[in-house]
Amino acid sequence: MSYQVLARKWRPRSFREMVGQEHVLQALVNALDRDRLHHAYLFTGTRGVGKTTIARILAKCLNCEAGVSSEPCGTCSSCVEIAEGRSVDLLEVDAASRTKVEDTRELLDNVQYAPTRSRYKIYLIDEVHMLSSHSFNALLKTLEEPPPHVKFLLATTDPQKLPATVLSRCLQFNLKNMPPEQIVGHLAMVLEQEMVTFEEPALWLLGRAAAGSMRDALSLTDQAIAFGSGKVTDADVRSMLGSVDLGHVFELLEAVGEGEPAKVLGIVQRMSEFAPDFEGSLDELLSLIHRVATAQVVPDAIDNSWGDAERVGQIARAITAEDAQLFYQVALNGKRDIALSPDPRRGFEMILLRMLAFRPAAVIDDSVRPQDLQQVESSPVAGGEDSAPVKKSPEVLRPPIGKSAEVASVKTVEEASAGEAPSSAVSTETPASDFSLDDLTQGTWWKLLELLGLTGMMFNIASHCELQQRQGSDLAFVLDSGHAALFNDTHSDKLRLALQNFFNCAVSVSVVLGAPAGETPAMRLNRLAAERQAEAVLAIEEDPQLQALISRFDAELDHSSIHPTDV
């Protein structure tokens, strides 16, 4: 017996066997079971999503000898003939090959005659948008008021090309592209029934390569079985599709996160030895960055279907959320431009270099106080000792991949008048260096926080905590629930370790979510900033020279442009 390809062998024979398209199936099942049948149905969607399959199953439902229902028997002569494509009362027409008006008129000449054996005479017109305008005109009257024994089932991949007069005469069902999850689940079932050994990562590659088409996924699976000599493995499928090893994609994102351009280019060089599809590699990179960004917001949402959740989590902790968003936007824009590059590899390299070039040189923590700002050291330019000093670029302390995820806040003085050297650091509320555990109260928690040396995300979380109670070395904190999106148990441990290292004794820390009863360090900083802003506005408004200008030119003061000089 000759081999039957998977796409034909596993074509659904009833609505129960369909994968996906529940929104269409529910409407059809209810209409069939309640005998609310329309005379014309239009199924739209991209290739391979089930348009013709649903139309054939619907034809079975209409002409089953057991009666009209959503579950045809599948064994009567009418169901068997439709399944085998030899029913005389199901006329399947490929509109792409019969575009002339004469063909349509010839087809419609037999509409008036009753079906030969079945309940309905059914016209299934595939790719109906290919009909000419004259053909549509010939079809319109019959499509609107066909004889009671006639049903029209139309299918198209391009409904925009159909005249509005045709659309208004049909019930239209838009079939969706299949998500990779549905495709992978169906492929796994098919391969298990076919007793073919497979690796799940290979199915994900096939599911994404199918681009929403179940038929394409089954065809690619057939090709993968032949390529792998009866097995479907990750390495074989990557080789067949020209996909890049995901390990290289992880290495690329890690190298970009570490700010190592030489390492990035070296990885691309290794990738090029396998002649990969660099546009596909960019898609893989976008997918990985999306997973990293999701893990930063909801750590428990990391998809571990590929067994790489731990590595995704490491990258999520090693780069900031701002970097992840920047990398995604650069890659997304690069996807549009890569086709314009001299060759895909150079375009891919430039996208990665843009990520490094546009990455901010510093991360400024919103909770940093003006009193914490420090003067940046100056260094002479190459002109000699008498040359004008220039500021060094602020440095971001970024941990290596897999280690602590916090990014140190850079505290520099940005305000300096023309011709003046930067002012010295302001330090009016520096906590005492001999701060002891007995000194820790709700009112002094902000002072201790400045001494703990916390940075980045950990400092942000701690600054939104209120010390609710201290009993000896047992500390109870309340974290403002409005700032708890990134909080997890590891942050409690880090806060406990920081306190233990500072006091040189064992402490216990508990953090619960809630509404602080008092003022958190972050609230305090916001209050001080608002007070400084109010003072700055008042000073500007009372300035006599400014008032004279406003009076003379009938001007208005732009309050949004007023900022304190110490921030």
Q: What is the pLDDT of residues 37-63, one digit of tens each?
A: 999 999 999 888 889 999 999 999 999
In a shared domain, residues 376 and 394: yes
**Any idea which of 2-11, 182-191, 412-421, 476-485 has the lowest mean pLDDT?**
412-421
- Host H or E run for residue 83: helix 77-84
pLDDT at 347: 92
Instruction: Take residue 201 and report the two structure tokens written for it.
Output: 């990562």
Residue 192 belongs to a domain: yes
Whether 495 and 552 map to the same domain: the answer is: no
Task: Indicate if 113 and 230 belong to the same structural domain.
Answer: no
| DSSP secondary structure letter of residue 396 | -
Q: Say if residue 232 is in the same domain as residue 260.
A: no
Nearest to 108 by CA among 137, 83, 70, 71: 137
Q: How confident is the model at residue 566 (pLDDT cuts 50, 70, 90)?
A: low
The domain boundary, picked from 241, 273, 294, lies at 241
Other residues' Cβ atoms within 10 Å of the Cβ of residue 278? 23
Handedness of CA 67, 71, 77, 78 (dihedral sign): positive
Instruction: Provide the terminal-to-terminal Cα distance of the chain, rounded to the nearest Å.
Output: 82
> For residues 399 and 117, which has the higher predicted lDDT (pLDDT)?
117
CATH number reported for the structural domain that contains residue 455 in this entry: 3.30.300.150
CATH of the domain at 194: 1.10.8.60
Instruction: List, in order, residues 6 or more apart from 33 with CB less than 8 Å away.
Output: 69, 70
Give pLDDT, residue 274.
76
Task: Say yes or no to pLDDT of 213 above 80.
Answer: yes
Q: Are strands 465-471 and 474-480 parallel, antiparallel or unpaired?
A: antiparallel
Q: Kindly state whether residues 485 and 529 are assigned to the same domain.
A: no
20, 157: one domain: yes
Report whether pLDDT(161) > 60: yes
- Residue 192: per-residue pLDDT: 93
- 211 and 252 co-located in one domain: no
Let me know if residue 364 belongs to a domain: no
Q: What is the domain-level CATH number for residue 311? A: 1.20.272.10
Same domain flag for 123 and 50: yes
30/113 Cα distance (integer angstroms): 29
Q: What is the mean pLDDT of residues 209-215?
A: 88
300 or 442: which carries more pLDDT confidence?
442
What is the domain range of residue 232?
180-241
Confidence band (pLDDT; 50, 70, 90) for 299? confident
Which residues lie closer than 8 Å to 519 by C-beta, 6 or more apart? 466, 527
Position 301 in a domain = yes
pLDDT of residue 467 exceeding 90, the answer is yes
Model pTM above 0.85: no
Judged by DSSP in three states, 369 sits in coil
Per residue in 426-447, pLDDT (tens digit) is 333 444 457 888 889 988 999 8
Residue 434 forms part of a structural domain: no
105, 71 contact by CB (below 8 A): no
Inside any domain, residue 362: no
Q: Is 208 helix (H, G, I), strand (E, B) or coil?
A: helix
Token digits of residue 295: 């893990």
> Residue 376: its pLDDT value, please?
44
CA separation for the pair 114, 553 (Å, rounded): 90
Question: Domain for residue 462, yes or no?
Answer: yes
| pLDDT, tens digit, 9 for 90 and up, residues 401-421 | 444 333 333 333 334 333 333
Nearest alpha carbon to residue 142 among 107, 174, 90: 107
What pLDDT sits at residue 385? 42
Residue 392 binned pLDDT confidence (cut-offs 50, 70, 90) = very low
pLDDT at 142: 84
Quick one: 269 and 318 in the same domain? yes
Residue 111: what pLDDT?
84
- Is residue 99 one of the residues assigned to a domain? yes
What integer best gives the mean pLDDT of the chain?
Answer: 82
Looking at the fold, whether 94 and 220 belong to one and the same domain comes out as: no
Task: Give the total number of structural domains in the chain.
Answer: 6
Helix (H, G, I), strand (E, B) or coil at 231: strand
The CA-atom distances, in angstroms, between 104 and each of 100, 227, 297, 500 are 7, 44, 58, 85
Buried b (16+ CB within 10 A) or exposed e, 81-110: bbbeeebebbebbebeebeebebbeebbee
Q: What is the pLDDT of residue 422?
A: 37
pLDDT in tens, 229-280: 889 998 888 888 876 677 888 999 999 998 899 999 999 998 888 777 888 8
For the residues 343-371, what does the mean pLDDT come to?
A: 77
One domain for residues 14 and 159: yes
**Whether residues 83 and 138 fall in one domain:** yes
User: Of 193, 222, 241, which residue sits at a domain end?
Assistant: 241
Nearest to 56 by CA among 37, 45, 41, 67: 41
- Assess if residue 365 is contained within a domain: no
Tens digit of each residue's pLDDT (9 = 90 or more) over 95-118: 877 767 777 787 777 888 888 888
